[in-house]
Amino acid sequence: MLRFILQRTFIMVLTMLALSLVVFTLVNLEPNLRKLALEQNNNRMSQEAVDSWLDKNGYRRPFVVQYGEWLGGVLTGDLGYSTRFRMPVNEVLPKRLGYTGILAFWVLVTMVPSALLIGILSGMREGTALDRILSIFSVATTATPEYVSGILFTVIFASMLGWFKGVSNVNNITFENFTLPVMTMSIYGMGYIARMTRASMSEVMTSQYVRTAHLKGLPFRSVVLKHALRNALIAPFTVILLQFPWLLTGVVIVEKIFNYKGFGWALVEAAENNDIHLLLACSLVSVVVVIGTQLISDVGYAYLNPRIRVES
């Protein structure tokens, strides 16, 4: 078990290194550096002024030196300086991550239980009217990306009905202004998880051990609760955790639509202004989140599935 976690951590570090190299190369491309220079000074700067500014600030040193410097900083816990926010990345990032954490928390709390419920109800008795309705709902939500549903919800619930606000504020989170972003994100993810749960549930319901349970004379309720459910949840469990990379993109879109200044918003700001260190830090965070959830998903899968667990 420990060996496995170590192995995964090693892969994670390797991935982070490879990705930071790629990102580093891309942000240090000449056009991107020029963009940075213009953004940091003024847009009408001459070519010579750009060159001298870049020289002065050390962007013209050899790639290896710059990368080594950044890597050294990261290893000692210093993520560098954000040119966009004009303060150390270490001060920008935790705050923004915290805001996004609140958002992600509510998304997961609303999305996961409803998705599982929908999936189980429709997979339990395949082909019924309830199953068909829920399935159509699931397909429709997976087909509607956040930048569509978010805007449609704003039109309906903010512009027309006036129930909620179409803009969120990180400093003043209320039911009124926080519902739409949470709803937008959780509904898009819900369909996918529900479909996976349904597929898994309906497969389990036709399995031979569920037949055994029926033919033992158990009531339908306990067949579902004691025999089907646990086996049916193994597959969606991994799906939910593998949703995290998607959740990150979703966060970026939703934060932009609702002007919620969290991690996603910071990421867009960094990218649009070629804020090298902030962008690198954001990428690293993303990789940690993605691979970390993969790890949890594998461990959890093994925990749920005794066929793997007990063989140690």
Partner 1 sequence: METINFWELWGGVAYRFWPVWVGMAITYLLMRANRKHIGVFGHLLDSPVGVTGLMIVLFWLFTAVFADVVATFDPLEQFYRHRRKPPGMVELESMIPMYFGSDNLGRDLFSRMVYGSRFVLLIAPSATLVAFIVGITLGLPAGYKGGRTDSILSFIANMILSFPVIVLFYLLVTPGIRETALPNVMASVFFMFPIVFALTVLRSRFSERPGLLFPWSVIILILGGWLYSGVVFNSDPLGLISMDPNELNIFAAVVFASSPGVFRIVRGLTMDIKTRDYVAAAQTRGETPWYIMLWEILPNARGPLIVDACLRIGYTTILLGTLGFFGLGLAPESPDWGSMINQTRGFIRLVPTIVLPQTIALASFVLGLNLLADGLREESLKD
Partner 2 sequence: MTEPILEINNLSVSFFTRHGEIPAVMDFSMSVHAGEAMGLVGESGCGKSTVALAIMRYLGGNGRITKGSIRFRGREMTDMTGAELRELRGSQISMIYQEPMASLNPAMRVGLQLMEVPLSHEYISKNEAKQRSLEMLESVRLPDPERIFRSYPHQISGGQQQRIVIAMALLSQPDLLLLDEPTTALDVTVEAGIVELVRELGRKFGTSMLFVSHNLGLILETCDRITVMYSGEAVESGPIKDVFRKMQHPYTQGLLRSIPLPGTDKSAHPLIPIRGQLPLPHERPQGCNFGPRCNHFQSALCDVNAVPMISVNEREHFSRCLRVPEIDWNAPPESSAKSAPMEIGKTILAVRNLSKHYDVSANNLFASGKAGTVKANENITFEAKKGEIVAIVGESGCGKSTLAKILLGLEQASEGSADFEGVDLANIPVESRNVKTVGHLQIVFQNPFDTLNPSHTIGNQIVRALEKFGVGKTPDERRELMLELLDLVKLPREFERRVPRQLSGGQKQRVGIARAFAGKPALVVADEPVSALDVSVQAAITELLTDIQREEQTTLLFISHDLSMVRYLADRVIVMYLGRIVEHGTADEVFSPPYHPYTEALLSAVPIPDPDIKKQHIILEGDIPSALNPPSGCSFHTRCHRKIEGLCEIEIPPQKTLSSEHNILCHLSEETLQSMTSVFRIEKNENKDSFLHDNNK
Kindly list the residues in this chain that would bind partner 2 in the complex (CB under 8 A): 1, 3-4, 126-127, 206-209, 211-220, 222, 226-227, 230-231, 234, 298, 302, 304-312
The binder of 218, among partner 2, partner 1, none, by C-beta within 5 to 8 A per type, is partner 2
15: contact with partner 1 by CB under 8 A: yes
Closest CB 204 distance from partner 2, rounded Å: 10
162: contact with partner 1 by CB under 8 A: no
8 A C-beta contact, residue 257 and residue 224:
no
Closest CB 165 distance from partner 1, rounded Å: 12
> Per-residue string for binding with partner 1, 194-233, x by CB under 8 A?
----------------------------------------
Q: Of the candidates 252, 254, 278, 295, which one interacts with partner 1 according to CB under 8 A?
A: 252
Q: How many CA atoms lie within 13 A of 310 on its CB side?
A: 3
The binder of 230, among partner 2, partner 1, none, by C-beta within 5 to 8 A per type, is partner 2
50: contact with partner 1 by CB under 8 A: no
Nearer Cβ to partner 2, position 245 or 300? 300
Q: Of the candidates 256, 296, 302, 305, which one interacts with partner 1 according to CB under 8 A?
A: 256
Q: Which stretch binds partner 1 (CB under 8 A): 67-75, 80-88, 142-150, 169-177?
A: 142-150
Nearer Cβ to partner 1, position 185 or 290? 290
127: contact with partner 1 by CB under 8 A: no
